[in-house]
Amino acid sequence: MLATHALVTPIPKLTALLSLSTTRSSKSSASVPGFINFYRRRRFCRVITSMAGAGSVCIDVAGESRSEHVTGKWFSVPELRLRNHRFIVPLDYSLNSKTSPKITIFAREVVAVGKEEQVMPYLLYLQGGPGFESPRPSEASGWIQRACEEFRVILLDQRGTGLSTPLTSSSMLQFKSAKDLADYLVHFRADNIVKDAEFIRVRLVPNADPWTILGQSFGGFCALTYLSFAPQGLKQVLITGGIPPIGKACTADDVYEAGFEQVARQNEKYYKRFPEDIEIVREIVDYLAASEGGGVPLPSGGILTPKGLQALGLSGLGSSTGFERLHYMLERVWDPILVPEAPKRISQFFLNAFENWHSFDTNPLYALLHESIYCEGASSRWSAHRLQEKIECKFNATNAVNESQPVLFTGEMIFPWMFDEIHALNPFKDAADLLAEKEDWPPLYDVTTLKNNKVPVAAAVYYEDMYVNFKLVMETASQISGIRLWITNEYMHSGLRDAGRQIIDHLLGMINGKKPLF
């Protein structure tokens, strides 16, 4: 049964509260075996003190011991106190703990000044991505400041990011073959991120009590994986712009089919806002297509082609200040003509700005694993690329120039050509192809468990979100028992960054009963 309760304010600021519930079946499905084995393999740990700070030593049945949790000393930024935690975890939880290779997971604990020893509930933050590290606070502000009023916040660097055995464009060169790298990367999805979180919770939280989690974007995907396979570790769940499609072996085609439609609408809005950019973008496409090799060299060694130019929409069309940043970047695309009859050239400023626009050089995991986050028992087969070919006439830059139409930017999509044209991704092209063809991806969600969910969940859903399609969100939400939705077009996907205090305050009010259903 779907119960809907809404509070609506006039457009353009639409705000709604929905309480969604589903009929609960009498029996929940079993959790994935990896999670069962994880709990069976928990070993006795005791707290120790080392030069690095407090930590834990794990003693197994054979009497062997090793430090698996080391805690650093407190340090300060304005109005906050922080300390670092490092955990040694298995790369592959399905293997025996002795035989699995180990990786380090880094988490930073954050509290308001003066609350270091105060007893408070824990809140784990799951960052968006995939492949991005948690924020590095420089002061008390935004959602972190609000959360620290009542929580001990844990900023987790998900495996492969930040200080958690980072998979960078240089560190991944250590692998001897594309297959070796691909086989390693399969362990860096939401299923193992959740197992890492549980590993940390039972060692960090007093009495291994359940904690609250906050998932932003891909972090919200991880939150649903958590609800599916380890709900006993959760007290309550907050999600911002991150409810994934579920229920199919691979939902990537659904995501990108809906995604291209939303991206087209965002392009229309952009060009209405900055109509002068229609001609500027067409002029750039014409210049690139006429250049030797179909593009111009980038400072890092890659090449800027019309397809690469269109990919600026990934960041430019979906965040609150993206339109402005993209426009200001295009304002400086050409070098001035200082000498009569000098050839026209794209400026070094623009080429540098283009390379800094994306984070493929610092966070290549995003490109390598992006489509796999939608896969459970089936391959993506470069879904975005296949679907774009079906609507090529709409997103073909050359055709748009020839027909005097606006050139459409693409959105949050990873294409195989990126591994040819972006220098930082070149070495990983073959591994990316292997991952795109991989079929035996393990499950990420359990629909039966979600339909029988008993953990309080509140989610901010952004009506015009370019990254997480509204229709697909609503289809999934209808299958999560007890979830409460706050639907708004006041914020874009970057809402947590732009208005974090207000959003966290609203979600906590919903989940704690301060925001009534009616």
Catalytic residues: 217, 440, 493
Contact (Cβ atoms closer than 8 angstroms) between residue 466 and residue 318: yes
Q: Tokens 């707290």, residue? A: 47
Here the tokens at position 203 are 């060692």
What count of other Cβ atoms lies within 10 Å of the Cβ of residue 512? 12
Rounded CA-CA distance 203/198 in Å is 9
Q: Is 289 helix (H, G, I), strand (E, B) or coil?
A: helix
15, β-bridge pairs:
488
* Token digits of residue 358: 């994306």
Residues 369/373/378/384 CA torsion (nearest 10 deg)? -70
Alpha carbon distance 503, 486 (integer Å): 10
Residue with tokens 């748009």: 400
Question: Is the CB of residue 398 less than 8 Å from the CB of residue 268?
Answer: no
The number of C-alpha atoms within 13 Å of 280 and in the hemisphere containing its C-beta is: 16
The residue behind tokens 């050359």 is 398
Residue type, 226: Y
The answer for residues whose C-beta is within 8 angstroms of residue 249's C-beta and 6 or more apart is 375, 376, 377, 378
Buried b (16+ CB within 10 A) or exposed e, 401-430: beeeebbbbbbbbbbeebbebbbbbebbee
Token readout for 386 is 């296949």
How far apart CA 460 and CA 503 sit, in angstroms, is: 8
The vertex-17 CA angle with 12 and 19, nearest 5°, equals 150
SS3 70: strand
Bridge partners, 297 (sequence order): 303
Give CA–CA dist 305/287, Å, rounded. Answer: 10
Query: DSSP 3-state assignment of 78?
Result: coil
Report how far apart, in Å, the C-alpha atoms of 492 and of each of 31, 327, 460 are.
34, 18, 10
DSSP-assigned states of every residue in 422-455 = SGGGGGGHHHHHHHHH---PPP---HHHHHT--S
Look at strands 44-50 and 303-304 and give their pairing. Answer: unpaired
Sign of CA dihedral 439, 442, 445, 448: positive
- Cα–Cα distance between 255 and 439 in angstroms, integer? 18
Residue 334 is given by DSSP the state B
d(CA 3, CA 401): 49
